[in-house]
Amino acid sequence: MTVADTVAHAPTSERRIVDDAIEGFLAGFDPAASVPNDQTWGAVYDAGLSRVDFPADRGGLGVQPDLQWVVDDALQAGGVPNNFNDNIAGIAVVAPVITAFGTAEQQSRHLRRIFTCEDVWCQLFSEPEAGSDLASLRTRAERDGDGWTLTGHKVWNTMAHISDFGLLLARTSDAPRHKGITCFLLDMKTPGVEVRPIRQMTGEAEFNEVIFDGAFIPDTARVGDVDQGWAVALGTLMAERFAVSQVIDNKVPIIDEIIELWRDLDPTSQDAARRDALVQLVVRSRVLGLMRDRVESKFRAGIPGPEGSLLKLAQAELTPDIYNYGLDLLGAGGMLSTGYDLAPPSSWADAGVTGGDVRRAFLRSRAYPIEGGAAEIQRNTIAERILGLPRG
């Protein structure tokens, strides 16, 4: 069943609830008015249109998740600015986790400010020796009165340098691996938290390492039970893999950039071999789009599962191939650098490579098979959880 089919089969009563909420919001929205974006996004939240599957008092309407597509299309047509690219980790990853696992106080404190982008979030999971094998993490949170004292080291934390809060995993006992981990909501301005930029081979520094030296976290910032953070982590990782798809959906498809580059070539360079290679990439891109529709339909219906690994793996393999091809089209000019200044992005919207810079995008694409779960890990997930193969 496609996304369109799922929406078409939504209960009539739920569709009416959504349509009424959209109509009510747009009736009071003037796209020409000079209203700050955070106020507009707050009104969207209050109308229950931020995530329609969330509870009615938490930015949603308590209806079928697929109906969010109806909302997004209507708001875009009505001139409402999109908040997604201003707070990707917060909206795509953290908000679903807080809604599913957080306390009522945590939901009240954080959800609205996530969707208004007043609080920007990052994810604090990976460590120098605990990336794909996340359960081996060593960052510790020790009991300290009515809270916890944090020591350790995280790495590859996207946009941590501009984040107000981070979703953190820490070891809280000596129980083996998965059983001794707890999840926290960390205020990044807490004394004892240091963020250091990591220069990438593109020159930018969208990734960071974060050092904890005696930072204090109140127990009220704990998500879920002590030593039971692995369940939260699994929910987060499923949301993260879906978030990769959302990021792609909110940007110009990269294959379109390469098609434009092809069209700008001198006709003498548009030989049959290059044309055939481009067609193969276009076909793979279209197939990936169909796969994304299917996975998104299940996720929006509240059924996040291992299929997200199929999508993540396919995207991780396709993206470098597309930019390899783009660099080939540039010829010797593809070796020219466009700069190597250490430039931490000032917002989520500026993260990654923008503006059709194929040279920098080629370098940046080397990270795709690693970030968000390495390709090898995705293959393991596919083999064990989808194909049912035995562990080797």
Q: Looking at the annotation, which residues are catalytic?
A: 240
- Are 376 and 369 in contact, with CB atoms under 8 Å apart? no
| Cα of 60 vs its chain's centroid, Å | 20
Work out the burial of residue 302: count CB atoms within 10 Å of its CB; fewer than 13 is exposed, 13-18 middle, 19 or more buried: exposed
- Are 25 and 49 in contact, with CB atoms under 8 Å apart? yes
- Are 338 and 204 in contact, with CB atoms under 8 Å apart? no
Contacts of 12 (CB under 8 A, 6+ apart): none
Hey, is 170 helix, strand or coil? strand
State the Cα–Cα distance between residues 270 and 339, nearest whole angstrom: 29
State the Cα–Cα distance between residues 249 and 265, nearest whole angstrom: 27
C-alpha R_g of the chain:
22
State the Cα–Cα distance between residues 14 and 220, nearest whole angstrom: 35
What tokens were used for 8? 């078409």
Q: What CA–CA distances, in Å, run from 95 to 190, 285, 349, 378?
A: 21, 29, 18, 24
Q: Where are the beta strands (DSSP E) in the chain?
A: 121-124, 140-144, 147-155, 165-171, 181-187, 193-197, 208-218, 222-223
- Are 227 and 184 in contact, with CB atoms under 8 Å apart? no
Work out the burial of residue 198: count CB atoms within 10 Å of its CB; fewer than 13 is exposed, 13-18 middle, 19 or more buried: middle
Q: What CA–CA distances, in Å, run from 190 to 83, 91, 213, 306, 392?
A: 26, 22, 10, 36, 44
216 residue type, one letter: F
